[in-house]
């Protein structure tokens, strides 16, 4: 069995998904879970893109010590210097430099000749190499580039010191056999290829990201770039859990292995879904709610008699809990902390204290607190880290006779107390208008949805709000047993993200 290096880019390409931005505390939580999952490389962000991204990469580099911590940089000196600033305290730092290679990108976007691209690639790898030995290079849009030119780039960047060469299917255009041939061609035509690891990075525009990745591994690639739940630009990236479980389940055909502790997959998936707000579709392979559910009588009968009749994997191998233990009013801090650890959270003492007091408040309103309640509650606590505006109080009056009215009190920057009231067509509209009078940022609300976290009339309601400003979408989430309060939290969360992005720009 040969080992495949798992390079996780949930915090970089995954976070690039429209409306998927994470705050610094959320990124650190995910990085810690990725470490428990056993990924070899965490691409923690793109430091030059914003001050927030820089800080998050720096924090992860300091705190997460086992995996390689990688920072992305365009083939530009400032990007490379900034990437190094962010990761220089990592135990194992890596700089990942990329530059477009295809004629389409070169002509319409870069306006550079092939020679210029070759020269810049070499120079920037040499620059990154001054900082660290571990340098990765990606010729962007490789799948739409003439293979001979890719061979040339790969050879030259390896000569300049690249230790990993990553071949991206940037726009998810490739077909497995074609992409596999490109990888095979690299091994056959690049004389110094044995001095680097060949990596692949596939997008899912045609739904082929995992198939393309696996075919490349069959043809010799030994690093695979992927994201938890397959989140990422447009239709997403290759999904980590699908690749890892395909390698494990079909080792008879693939003869490959990974370092992943598969029992951590479910937790990683829940955490990423909870913190990004991207819901996992029920029929999603490996971690969807229906992935191990059998509906037809014949299938149920078979599984009861012998699970392998209709189950190719044991759900326990991906960490799906056999039963959900329930906490309640009498559960103490210790039990709460242990359950958090089981769910993949490792909060600081201060955050734990806040989460525990929110848990106690919830236990007063709700008899049984399930794992999903706890996830929702901790995600709510993490969302409030580094917020500019915080909801202090909200009061609404509504009904079929009255005029919907909302009064809000916010704690603003530097602790100022701000209060106002507004009328609206309903309580949510009135609440948004009252908040808009205090937080004056033009935006349009484009999506509003409410779901209950668990069954029962006392369930927590989770609200997701998307707003748009200057063509960019910001997602906000809020959870509370009162759905109007949850809506206010979600709206403020979206506004805080908008303000943070504006400030970073």
Spell out the residues 6+ positions from residue 261 whose beta carbon is closer than 8 angstroms to its own.
36, 37, 38
Q: How far is the CB of 12 from ligand KIV (least distance, A)?
A: 8
Lay out the site mask for Zn ion across 113-132 (x = CB under 5 A, - = otherwise).
Answer: --------------------
Q: Can you tell me the distance from the alpha carbon of 355 to that of 326, in angstroms, rounded to the nearest whole number? A: 17
Residues β-bridged to residue 422: 406
Q: How far is the CB of 407 from ligand KIV (least distance, A)?
A: 46
Lay out the site mask for Zn ion across 12-41 (x = CB under 5 A, - = otherwise).
Answer: -x----------------------------
Residue (72 or 374) nearer to Zn ion, CB: 72
Residues β-bridged to residue 390: 411
Q: Can you tell me the distance from the alpha carbon of 78 to that of 57, in angstroms, rounded to the nearest whole number? A: 16
Question: Contact between 493 and ligand KIV (CB under 6 A)?
Answer: no
Which of the stretches 145-153, 164-172, 280-288, 343-351 binds ligand KIV when contact is defined by CB under 6 A? 164-172
Residues 264-323 close enough to bind ligand KIV by CB under 6 A: none
Residue (170 or 487) nearer to ligand KIV, CB: 170
Give the C-alpha distances (Å, rounded to integers) separating 462 from 122, 148, 297, 354, 405. 50, 52, 34, 19, 22
Burial class of residue 85 in the structure, from the number of CB atoms within 10 Å of its CB (0-12 exposed, 13-18 middle, 19+ buried): middle
Residue 409: DSSP 8-state: E
Which of the stretches 6-14, 259-267, 412-420, 461-469 binds Zn ion when contact is defined by CB under 5 A? 6-14
Q: How far is the CB of 203 from Zn ion (least distance, A)?
A: 6
| Edge-to-edge order in the sheet of strand 472-480 | 444-452, 461-469, 472-480
Residue 404: DSSP 8-state: P
Give the C-alpha distances (Å, rounded to integers) separating 47 from 29, 87, 221. 18, 9, 27
- Yes or no: say if 95 and 132 are a contact pair by the CB < 8 Å rule: yes
Lay out the site mask for ligand KIV across 238-257 (x = CB under 6 A, - = otherwise).
Answer: --------------------
Q: Which SS3 state, helix, strand or coil, does residue 275 take?
A: helix
Q: Can you tell me the distance from the alpha carbon of 272 to that of 13, in angstroms, rounded to the nearest whole number? A: 13
Question: Contact between 13 and ligand KIV (CB under 6 A)?
Answer: yes
Q: Which SS3 state, helix, strand or coil, does residue 164 take?
A: strand
Question: Contact between 140 and ligand KIV (CB under 6 A)?
Answer: yes
**Residue 487 binding: pick among ligand KIV, Zn ion, none (C-beta 5-8 Å cut-off by kind):** none
Question: Contact between 137 and ligand KIV (CB under 6 A)?
Answer: no
**Residue 98 binding: pick among ligand KIV, Zn ion, none (C-beta 5-8 Å cut-off by kind):** ligand KIV
DSSP string, 478-491: EEESSHHHHHHHHH
Question: Contact between 138 and ligand KIV (CB under 6 A)?
Answer: yes
Q: How far is the CB of 109 from ligand KIV (least distance, A)?
A: 13
Residue 221 in tokens: 């690639």
Question: Contact between 136 and Zn ion (CB under 5 A)?
Answer: no
What is the number of alpha carbons within 13 Å of residue 287 lying toward its C-beta?
A: 26
Among 10, 132, 145, 170, binds ligand KIV (CB under 6 A): 170
Which of the stretches 165-173, 291-299, 311-319, 434-442 binds ligand KIV when contact is defined by CB under 6 A? 165-173
Q: How far is the CB of 214 from ligand KIV (least distance, A)?
A: 18
Question: Contact between 168 and ligand KIV (CB under 6 A)?
Answer: yes
Residue (227 or 370) nearer to ligand KIV, CB: 227
Q: Which SS3 state, helix, strand or coil, does residue 174 take?
A: coil
Question: Contact between 336 and ligand KIV (CB under 6 A)?
Answer: no
**Residue 127 binding: pick among Zn ion, ligand KIV, none (C-beta 5-8 Å cut-off by kind):** none
Question: Contact between 145 and ligand KIV (CB under 6 A)?
Answer: no
Instruction: Characterise 172 by phi-psi region: left (phi > 0), alpha (psi -120 to 50), beta (else).
Output: left
Question: Contact between 98 and ligand KIV (CB under 6 A)?
Answer: yes
Measured over the CA atoms of residue 335, residue 338, residue 343 and residue 346, the dihedral's sign is positive
Question: Contact between 359 and ligand KIV (CB under 6 A)?
Answer: no
Residue (166 or 262) nearer to ligand KIV, CB: 166
Residue 287 in tokens: 């971690």
Q: How far is the CB of 203 from ligand KIV (least distance, A)?
A: 6
Q: How far is the CB of 384 from Zn ion (least distance, A)?
A: 31
- Yes or no: say if 421 and 473 are a contact pair by the CB < 8 Å rule: no
Using CB under 6 A as the criterion, which residues of the chain lie in contact with ligand KIV when the complex forms?
13, 98, 138, 140, 166, 168, 170, 201, 203
Using CB under 5 A as the criterion, which residues of the chain lie in contact with Zn ion when the complex forms?
13
């Amino acid at each position: 069995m040969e080992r495949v290096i798992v390079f996780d880019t949930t915090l970089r390409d995954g976070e690039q998904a429209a409306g998927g931005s994470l705050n610094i505390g959320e990124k650190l939580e995910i990085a810690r879970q990725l470490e428990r999952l056993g990924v070899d490389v965490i691409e923690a962000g793109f430091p030059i893109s914003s001050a927030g991204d820089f800080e998050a990469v720096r924090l992860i580099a300091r705190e997460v010590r086992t995996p390689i911590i990688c920072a992305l940089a365009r083939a530009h000196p400032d990007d490379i210097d900034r990437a190094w600033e962010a990761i220089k305290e990592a135990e194992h730092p890596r700089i990942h430099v990329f530059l477009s290679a295809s004629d389409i990108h070169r002509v319409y976007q870069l306006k550079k000749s092939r020679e210029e691209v070759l020269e810049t690639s070499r120079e920037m790898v040499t620059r990154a190499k001054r900082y660290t030995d571990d340098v990765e290079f990606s010729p962007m849009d490789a799948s739409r580039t003439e293979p001979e030119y890719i061979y040339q780039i790969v050879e030259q960047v390896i000569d300049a010191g690249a230790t990993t060469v990553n071949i991206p299917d940037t726009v998810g255009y490739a077909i497995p056999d074609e992409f596999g041939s490109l990888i095979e061609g690299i091994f056959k035509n690049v004389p110094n290829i044995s001095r680097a690891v060949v990596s692949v990075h596939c997008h899912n525009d045609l739904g082929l990201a995992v198939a393309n990745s696996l075919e490349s591994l069959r043809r010799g690639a030994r690093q695979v770039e992927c994201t938890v739940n397959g989140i990422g630009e447009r239709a997403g990236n290759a999904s980590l859990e699908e690749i890892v479980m395909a390698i494990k389940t079909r080792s008879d055909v693939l003869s490959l292995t990974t370092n992943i502790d598969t029992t951590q997959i479910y937790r990683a998936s829940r955490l990423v879904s909870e913190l990004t707000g991207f819901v996992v579709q029920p029929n999603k392979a490996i971690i969807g709610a229906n992935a191990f559910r059998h509906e037809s009588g014949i299938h149920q009968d078979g599984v009861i008699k012998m699970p392998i009749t209709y189950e190719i994997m044991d759900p326990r191998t991906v960490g799906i809990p056999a039963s959900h233990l329930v906490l309640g009013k009498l559960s103490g801090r210790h039990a709460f902390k242990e359950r958090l650890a089981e769910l993949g959270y490792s909060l600081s003492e201060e955050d734990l204290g806040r989460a525990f007091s929110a848990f106690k408040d919830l236990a007063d309103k709700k008899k049984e607190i399930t794992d999903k309640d706890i996830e929702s509650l901790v995600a709510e606590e993490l969302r409030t880290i580094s917020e500019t505006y915080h909801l202090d109080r909200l009061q609404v009056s509504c009904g079929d006779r009255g005029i919907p009215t909302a009064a809000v009190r916010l704690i603003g920057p530097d602790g100022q107390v701000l209060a106002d009231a507004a009328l609206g067509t309903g309580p949510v509209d009135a609440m948004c208008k009252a908040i808009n009078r205090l937080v004056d940022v033009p935006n349009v609300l484009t999506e509003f949805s409410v779901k209950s976290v668990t069954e029962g009339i006392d369930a927590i309601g989770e609200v997701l709000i998307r707003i748009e400003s200057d063509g960019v979408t910001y997602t906000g989430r809020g959870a509370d047993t009162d759905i109007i309060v949850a809506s206010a939290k979600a709206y403020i969360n979206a506004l805080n993200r908008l303000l943070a992005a504006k400030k970073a720009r």
